[in-house]
Amino acid sequence: MPGLRVIRTYHHEWLQSDLLAGISLAAVALPIGIAYAELAGFPAVAGIYASILPAVAYALFGSSRQLVVNPDAAACAIVAATVGPLVASDPSRYVDVAVTLTFVTGLLCIAGGLAGLGVIADFLSRPILTGYLNGIALSIIAGQLGTLMGVQVPKGGFFRTIVEAFSRLGDTHHLTIAVGLGLFVLLRIFKHFWPRLPGPLIGVVFGIVLVYAMGLEGKGVAVVGQVPAGFPMPTLPKFKLAELRPLVESATGIMLVSFCSMMTTARGFANKNKYPIDANQDMIALGFSDLASGLSRGFVVSGADSRTAVADSSGGKTQLTSVVAAIAMALVLFFLTSPLALLPKAALAAILISSAFGLFDVASLRRYLRVSPAEFWLSIVAMLGVMTVGVLHGVLIAVALTLLRLIALASRPRDAVLGEVDEQSGIYGQIGEDGSTPIPGLLLFRFESAIVFFNADHFKERVRTVLNQAHPRPRWFLFSAESTPGLDITGSETLEELRAELEEQGIVFAIAKPRGRFEAMLKLTGVADKIGPERIFSTVRAGVAAFRADHEGR
């Protein structure tokens, strides 16, 4: 429990900052939690439940000092996409099945953290995660149009929902859309001009005052309705065994996306505040946060980037900020739920749409297009996947794209023909760069990857290509292995085939600077013996010197 270590080393001068930041955080987290409950298909009060105990659980188990674990847009969207079809015949079971999904996700996170699977945070690339979250943002906006307009709009993917919403423009409830659009504009004004003020809280209060003062509920404006005070009794949900498999599959997707998204936020603020975090510990902490949410009849949670930013910008130093916010929200839950009954649902739609605007990352897309067009298009495909085939299948598309990108990079790594900067320096670089020039009679080659089964043939073809392009034909081929950290059986057999092929052509095959797994496999497979110890060099400079001595000797 890293949180206990923080308690032991806590500096009393941090207390005032943490208290004030906690109150600011609660002012933002409470209305967003209620809005995300609507997104997940839960009663409004569940958003408050999911904002209290999970934050305390992460404060105890997590390694980040700033990260706020609360309801998250992506996870809520997956919950709705998963649970809705499972309970279509009996909607009264929605909460039980969704809470079961929360428990399963929590257990998977704890098991994954104990098994050291925190490394999965490195396997969803930023462009693909950006595309996925952009797709979520657009899907949220489309999904809230009906609530904003005061009409029922069937949900079925981004484009279908947009078409359905436009087809019902004539049925729009004008008071509802006036309240929703007015509050949306208010939120954007606060976001632009006074970003430190709790815009969502101000929007909620303003919406409640409007409904109360103008009697809007009686004029057809939908409101949240009665919000029960206090916490529910901790209970285990009921589920059917037939539902367990789809729930585990969905929980795996939620774990992947929510954890990767959380770690992106956690690492960003850890770098800013100059301290380390532990990915495996944070996966375990996320699991305990989900279990805490499930016990309080809440839904799946994750690292909340907007609320983490509020905690940090408000001066929060430690996880005490999240604990103070949780206490403040608990007090609201016990003593101030009556006014929440008058909260217009259009206000929640405005909060969700405003949050989705913040989730959509245009700046990163522009940067990807400028720096790496291939990754830009991967981001766009991930986004379109979420918008067309749905949130859950969008997760699978994002994972598949990540794996394809990883395989593509690993199977076709960069390589270079090296030259000498000058004979005395012993410095070698890619020919044409830094003044590097070829060494007559020697082809010095670098391969920037391990040589394994899926790129071994590519390595051999690249060597053949550069040899065929070399004029005059070299007498030595010296492989610089310092950028090749590993070798498997297929790779070692490929090296031996290449050595024999070059030997038939009268070209000496030599290796410089083998190390680690690469060097060990050369010896284990016997390839080192076939090359000969006199043709394996500890440095590139030693290999070049041996070539020159052999050349002069002839």
What are the structural domains of the chain?
2-407 (no CATH), 415-553 (3.30.750.24)
If you search the block for the tokens 């092929």, which residue do you land on?
A: 501
pLDDT band at 196 (very low <50, low <70, confident <90, very high): confident
Q: What is the pLDDT of residue 504?
A: 93
Mean pLDDT of 390-413: 75
Query: Measured between alpha carbons, how far is residue 453 from residues 84, 233, 341 in Å?
Result: 44, 56, 63
Burial of residue 196 (number of CB atoms within 10 Å: 0-12, 13-18, 19+): exposed
Q: Return the minimum-mean-pLDDT range out of 118-127, 471-480, 495-504.
A: 118-127
Helices (H) and strands (E) in the chain, counts: 23, 8
Report the interhelical angle of 345-359 vs 73-86 (nearest 10°). Answer: 120
Whole-angstrom Cα distance, residue 383 to residue 397? 9
Higher pLDDT, 288 or 40: 288
Three-state secondary structure along 148-166? HHCCCCCCCCHHHHHHHHH
Is the pLDDT score of 241 beyond 90? no
The tokens for 249 are: 């599959």
Mean pLDDT of 321-348: 88
Q: What is the pLDDT of residue 474?
A: 92
Is the pLDDT score of 399 beyond 80? no
Share of the chain above pLDDT 70, in %: 97
Residues 6+ apart with CB under 8 A from 514: 481, 522, 536
pLDDT band at 554 (very low <50, low <70, confident <90, very high): low
Higher pLDDT, 393 or 3: 3
Mean pLDDT of 81-92: 83
Q: What is the pLDDT of residues 530-546, one digit of tens each?
A: 999 999 999 999 999 99
Is the pLDDT score of 509 beyond 90? yes
pLDDT band at 428 (very low <50, low <70, confident <90, very high): confident
Higher pLDDT, 518 or 309: 518
Among residues 302, 21, 28, the alpha carbon closest in space to that of 191 is found at 28
- Cβ(321)–Cβ(46) under 8 Å? no
Mean pLDDT of 184-210: 85
* SS3 (DSSP) at 231: coil
Q: What is the pLDDT of residue 425?
A: 66
Is the pLDDT score of 552 beyond 80? no
* SS3 (DSSP) at 508: strand
Q: What is the pLDDT of residue 40?
A: 86
Is the pLDDT score of 461 beyond 90? yes
Mean pLDDT of 399-412: 79
**Which of 5-19, 98-112, 202-216 reaches the highest mean pLDDT?**
98-112
Q: What is the pLDDT of residue 32?
A: 86
Is the pLDDT score of 517 beyond 70? yes
Which 8-state DSSP code applies to residue 474?
P
Is the pLDDT score of 432 beyond 80? no
Q: What is the pLDDT of residue 511?
A: 95
Is the pLDDT score of 464 beyond 90? yes
Mean pLDDT of the chain: 86
Q: What is the pLDDT of residue 493?
A: 94
Is the pLDDT score of 388 beyond 90? no
pLDDT band at 13 (very low <50, low <70, confident <90, very high): confident
pLDDT band at 501 (very low <50, low <70, confident <90, very high): very high
Q: What is the pLDDT of residue 9?
A: 80
Report the interhelical angle of 126-143 vs 158-167 (nearest 10°). Answer: 20
Q: What is the pLDDT of residue 392?
A: 63
Mean pLDDT of 335-359: 83
Q: What is the pLDDT of residue 444?
A: 92
